Structure formats: structure tokens, C-alpha cells
């Protein structure tokens, strides 16, 4: 059933009809569309447009459609309706007759779809946030399990300074916590009720928008009817937040791919998140992580598509906006799956403590601590930096670590160096000396873990 057509005298071209129809995509909004229609019917009854009996009939008809979909989701497959709105209206007409034709009074598909996507997105954001919190819980548990493990910290993918493995993991906790907070902001700007805006000028009937807002659970009303039907900022914010979350997931994936390689050997991925080779029997490939890394690009593309879709649209609603649903749904599905897989990786990854210990004892990761030691003896940092560079060069030439250099050789470079230098160069000191807030000292990491636990507990 077409929801329009009175001024048309010719049939729509069959190819264009398939091109125009969006039901295969926007059927995912059916529960939101039914919910909005139920609330709108109540408003029409309060405005005197529907009688109490008509409201009862429409309510029962919409409830029957909802139950049918819940019982048999396959019912939606193959339907030929133009979109989810016309599908609901057509099925309602089949159930309750012509009273269904009153439901669209003062309402446009323009404000209807804005309502549906906002209702859907509010629930989607909560779903994403639950999954982010679950991933962060797994990261936190991994941090607590390996609190005593020291690994090389890297800059430029070159060994830099030793850090606690827990401290490294908590960096990702912070990234994902920011993502969680960004979705809070997105939720706040999504939480505006647009119904009653009509096609663009507002409803011509005394629709109680405030009552609609309360019934549908929105925080505020949209303030301008033209903006309400053309605004998709909330979708851009969601896809942008998803893209940034996937940046962080992709970085985590890249790290774990590298650290679990034979060349590094710091981590071992479980069989639950790896695959084999069809040719090489010995292979154990990190496909879970590679797919996360690859799917990030998919969502980046969605963000650019959505921005491009919006950038040249004249006011107010345009059919171009039909394309936003595919972007929204695929972004949501991709993000949730990637978060779920990343959580499984975090839950099942093993740390090779022996390899970690060996890695931090090579390649002069305590060189900065020697410079700090010299500064403590009164040498200006720039001179200390230059001097330690020469000592490292000497140790490289003789293939010995800094903390194995005899005291006499140390003192040949500087008389400021005493036998307490070996304490300063110990791995334990390298970690414990970084005791500023946010540093890798064990006491600070324990504080960070305790604080992270509190942050995760909010809302539980």
C-alpha cells in the first residue's frame, strides 16, 4: 500500500520502485516505529482526532503486529512495502480497517523516521557502552593478573623504557573509557523528541509534544521543526564515536599481533581467537585481530559517506537521507562484533613472563635512569644525556649491559658515579622511580586499578 499517490496517474517504473524501496534495510526500525505510532495515537485521542474506541482498536492492532514480528521475524522477509512506515500502516489497515488511515494525521514520514532513528540509536548506544565496559573489565582483570610483569615500553617501535605490563594495558582502559564517555555525549544530543514537527513546518493539529516526549522517554523536545526533520548530527556523532573506538581497537589489535609474533614472543593468543593455514600446518594466525584492524577501515568509510551525504543537502528533508540507515546499522553491527572479539582476546591471552624478563634486560632500557642518576649527582641533564650516550656506545662495543659494566669503567667516564649506580639501574628501581601520578610505579598502577574499578562500577 502506497502512503501517497493521489496526484499520480501513471504507474511507477519497476526498476525505480525497487531502487526507491528501503524496507529491506529500515525494517530494523519496526519496533521503534510501532512504539512511536502507539504514543502518537494516544496524542491524537487527546486532541479529539481519535475516539477512545478508535485508540483502543489501533493500540490492539499495533500490538498484534509487534507480537507477530517477535514470534516470527521471518515474516518481514520478502515484503514489498516501500519502507517500514508504510509496512506498519498497511498491516494495521488489514487488521483494524479504515480507522488505521487516521493514524498519520498531522504526522510525516520525515518526523517519523527522525523519531525512529533516535529511539533506535539511544538503545544502540547503551548496547555499545555495555560492551565497552565489558571489554574494559577484561582488560582490568588481565592487568591485575599480571601486575608483576615488566615489559619493554616502545616508542617508534623501538625499545624505550621498562613499564609494568599492567600499566601498558591501562593505557587502553583509558582510551576505551574516553570512548564510553563520548557515547554519553552522543546519547545526550540524540535524546531530543522530534515527533510533531510534521514534514518540516510543524503539525497543523493540537499535538501535545510534551506529553509525547514524556511517553517516549526523551529528555527534551527538538526546538525547530525544520531542523528536526533534516538533522542527522546525532548519527554523525555516533559513527564518529564508533570510528574512534575502532581506532583504539585497531591499535590494540596491532600491538597484540606484533607482541604475539615469534620475533617478539611476549604474548600467546589462544586457539579460540586464531586460525590455521590451509597449506602450512604449523601456522597459528591472529585472524581475529587482523579482522578488527581491517573492519576499522569499513567504519571510517561509513563516517566519510555520511559526512558526504549531508554536506550539500538543501533544507529540509531530502530522500538522500534514506541512505543513513545502512550506515547506522552496519556501523553498529561492526563495532559491537569487534568489541566482543577484542574482549575474548583479552580474556584468553597468555603472557610469556620469561620472554618479558629477557626483553627488558637487553637493549639499555635503563639508560634514562643512568642519566637521572647523574642529574641527582649534580650534572645538568643535557650533559648527563650526552655522557650516557657515550657509555651506551662503549657497552655496545663490548656487548655488555649497563648494569654489568664494572665500576672502574663507569668512573672512567665520570667520577660522579659510585657503587650505588647499580641500585639505580636495577629493573625494580626503573619501575619504582616513576612514581608520579600516572606513572608506571607499582604503587601508582595499584591506585590506577583501584580507580578503574570504581569507574567501572558506576551505573552497575
Q: Which residues are catalytic?
A: 156, 277
C-alpha 114/C-alpha 120 separation (Å) is 10
In the chain, what's the furthest Cα-to-Cα distance? 102
Query: How far from each other are the two terminal CA atoms of the chain, in whole angstroms?
Result: 46
C-alpha 111/C-alpha 324 separation (Å) is 15
Residue 350 bridge partners (DSSP): 268
C-alpha 190/C-alpha 209 separation (Å) is 17
C-alpha 217/C-alpha 237 separation (Å) is 21
Look at residues 166, 180, 49 and name the one whose alpha carbon lies nearest to residue 125. 180
Chain centroid offset of residue 456 CA? 16
Alpha carbon of 219 to those of 222, 300, 328: distances in Å? 10, 30, 22
DSSP string, 1-34: --S--TT--SPPPHHHHHHH--HHHHGGGHHHHH
C-alpha 90/C-alpha 97 separation (Å) is 10
- If you ran DSSP here, which 8-state letter would residue 191 be given? -
Q: Classify the phi-psi angles of 243: left when phi > 0, otherwise alpha if psi is within -120 to 50, otherwise beta.
A: alpha
Sequence-ordered strand ranges (E) for 319-402:
350-351
How many of the other CB atoms lie within 10 Å of CB of 446?
14
Look at residues 313, 312, 323, 317 and name the one whose alpha carbon lies nearest to residue 226. 317
**Given the C-alpha cell 665520570, which residue does it identify?**
414
Alpha carbon of 53 to those of 43, 56, 96, 203: distances in Å? 14, 5, 12, 23
**Given the C-alpha cell 584468553, which residue does it identify?**
348
Look at residues 2, 108, 99 and name the one whose alpha carbon lies nearest to residue 58. 99
Residues in the chain, total: 460
448: Cβ contacts below 8 Å, ≥ 6 apart: 167, 170, 438
Question: Which secondary-structure segment (H or E) carries 160?
Answer: strand 158-164
Amino acid at each position: 500500500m502506497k502512503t501517497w499517490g493521489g496526484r499520480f496517474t501513471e504507474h511507477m517504473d519497476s526498476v525505480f520502485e525497487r531502487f526507491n524501496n528501503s524496507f529491506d534495510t529500515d525494517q530494523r526500525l519496526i519496533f521503534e516505529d510501532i512504539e512511536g505510532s502507539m504514543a502518537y495515537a494516544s496524542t491524537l485521542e487527546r486532541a479529539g482526532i481519535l475516539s477512545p474506541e478508535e485508540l483502543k482498536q489501533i493500540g490492539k492492532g499495533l500490538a498484534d503486529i509487534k507480537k507477530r514480528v517477535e514470534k516470527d521475524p521471518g515474516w518481514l522477509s520478502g515484503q514489498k512495502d516501500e519502507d517500514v512506515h508504510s509496512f506498519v500502516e498497511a498491516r494495521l489497515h488489514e487488521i483494524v480497517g479504515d480507522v488505521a488511515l487516521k493514524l498519520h494525521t498531522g504526522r510525516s514520514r520525515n518526523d517519523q523516521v527522525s523519531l525512529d532513528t533516535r529511539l533506535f540509536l539511544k538503545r544502540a548506544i547503551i548496547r555499545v557502552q555495555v560492551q565497552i565496559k565489558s571489554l574494559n573489565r577484561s582488560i582490568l582483570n588481565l592487568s591485575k593478573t599480571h601486575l608483576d610483569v615488566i615489559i619493554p615500553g616502545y616508542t617508534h617501535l623501538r625499545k624505550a623504557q621498562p613499564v609494568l605490563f599492567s600499566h601498558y594495558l591501562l593505557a587502553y582502559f583509558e582510551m576505551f573509557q574516553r570512548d564510553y564517555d563520548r557515547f554519553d555525549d552522543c546519547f545526550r544530543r540524540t535524546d531530543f523528541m522530534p515527533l510533531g514537527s510534521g514534514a518540516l513546518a510543524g503539525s497543523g493539529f493540537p499535538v501535545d509534544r510534551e506529553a509525547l516526549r514524556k511517553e517516549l522517554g526523551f529528555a527534551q523536545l527538538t526546538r525547530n521543526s525544520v531542523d528536526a526533520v533534516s538533522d542527522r548530527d546525532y548519527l554523525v556523532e555516533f559513527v564518529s564515536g564508533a570510528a574512534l573506538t575502532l581506532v583504539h581497537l585497531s591499535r590494540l589489535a596491532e600491538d597484540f599481533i606484533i607482541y604475539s609474533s615469534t620475533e617478539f614472543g611476549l604474548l600467546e593468543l589462544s586457539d579460540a581467537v586464531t586460525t590455521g593455514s590451509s597449506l602450512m600446518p604449523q601456522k597459528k594466525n591472529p585472524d581475529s585481530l587482523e579482522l578488527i584492524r581491517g573492519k576499522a577501515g569499513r567504519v571510517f568509510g561509513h563516517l566519510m559517506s555520511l559526512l558526504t551525504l549531508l554536506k550539500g543537502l538543501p533544507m529540509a528533508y531530502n530522500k538522500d537521507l534514506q541512505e543513513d540507515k545502512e550506515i547506522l546499522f552496519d556501523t553498529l553491527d561492526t563495532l559491537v562484533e569487534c568489541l566482543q572479539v577484542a574482549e575474548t582476546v583479552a580474556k584468553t591471552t597468555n603472557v610469556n613472563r620469561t620472554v618479558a624478563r629477557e626483553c627488558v634486560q637487553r637493549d639499555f632500557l635503563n639508560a634514562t635512569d643512568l642519566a637521572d642518576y647523574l642529574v641527582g649527582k649534580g650534572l645538568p641533564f643535557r650533559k648527563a644525556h650526552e655522557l650516557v650516550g657515550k657509555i651506551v656506545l662503549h657497552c655496545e662495543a663490548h656487548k655488555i649491559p649497563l648494569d654489568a659494566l664494572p665500576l672502574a669503567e663507569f668512573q672512567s667516564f665520570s667520577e660522579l658515579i659510585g657503587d650505588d649506580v647499580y641500585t639505580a639501574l636495577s629493573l625494580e628501581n626503573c619501575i619504582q622511580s616513576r612514581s608520579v601520578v600516572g606513572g608506571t610505579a607499582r604503587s601508582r598502577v595499584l591506585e590506577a586499578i583501584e580507580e578503574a574499578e570504581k569507574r567501572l562500577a558506576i551505573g552497575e
